[in-house]
Amino acid sequence: MADLILDPSALRVPLDDDGSLFLRWRSGDAVAGRDLVRRHHPKLAVYFRRRFTGDIGDLVQRTWLRLFETQDRLQHEERFGHYCLGIARNVALEEIRRRVRRAPSVDDFPVPSSAASPDELAVRHETQLQLAVALEQLGPEFADVIRLFYYEHRRAPAVGRALGIPENTARSRLRRARLFLRARIER
């Protein structure tokens, strides 16, 4: 596993496809493993940066560790990239659950600009927890649209470009995600 951890600044794109690199890596070729990391490390970093603030290095490393531990489960080596992102999604969901489960601290409650009562702050915090759980239940195509629109403050055309989908599709997904989230939170 130590062969897989590298400095992402030393990236070069390997010429082999993911499938052949994965098969060589699984059979013990450390160079092929490093090439897979060089190819997919930036994608994983972007994936986690879109979802979390702060240092995402631990999340990326957890993804590589889980991939190393579960490499025998991959049946179709040409789908390595999808398998890798699937593991990253599971790591992200675990991190969200961990953050939601931890006990709230004083830092979780922003200092109100107006005099909000402790009950109002508690209701806001509960709503934020419900929103985090509901976002976790959304499919990734809907959650990505919500994150880009609300957390990165992008407009629908920019969301569409970022996700490689038409603007109208981005708008449709945003509308459907809002309806889903509203139904979950208003329960």
Rounded CA-CA distance 62/155 in Å is 32
Q: Give me the domains of the chain, ranges plus CATH numbers.
A: 1-103 (1.10.1740), 114-187 (1.10.10.10)
What average pLDDT does this structure show over 115-123?
Answer: 72
Three-class HEC string of the chain: CHHHCCCHHHCCCCCCCHHHHHHHHHCCCHHHHHHHHHHHHHHHHHHHHCCCCCCCHHHHHHHHHHHHHCHHHCCCHHHHHHHHHHHHHHHHHHHHHHHHHCCCCHHHCCCCCCCCCHHHHHHHHHHHHHHHHHHHHCCHHHHHHHHHHHHCCCCHHHHHHHHCCCHHHHHHHHHHHHHHHHHHHCC
172 pLDDT band (50/70/90 cuts)? Answer: very high
116-121: average pLDDT? 73
Percent of the chain whose predicted confidence (pLDDT) is above 70 = 82
| Residue scoring higher pLDDT (76 or 50) | 50
Encoding tokens for residue 9?
């600044």
> Is 108:72 a contact under the CB 8 Å cutoff?
no
Amino acid at 122: A
> What pLDDT sits at residue 184?
77
pLDDT for res 15: 55
- Kindly report, residue by residue over 58-116, the tens digit of the pLDDT: 999 999 899 888 877 877 777 788 888 889 988 988 887 777 666 555 555 555 555 66
Residue range 44-62: average pLDDT?
A: 86
Work out the average pLDDT over 131-157: 81
State in Å, rounded, how far the first CA of the chain is from the last one: 46
pLDDT of residue 13: 46
CA distance 173 to 182: 14
The stretch 122-145 carries a mean pLDDT of 78
Does the structure show a pLDDT above 70 at 17? yes
In which band, very low, low, confident or very high, does the pLDDT at 11 lie, cut at 50, 70 and 90?
Answer: very low
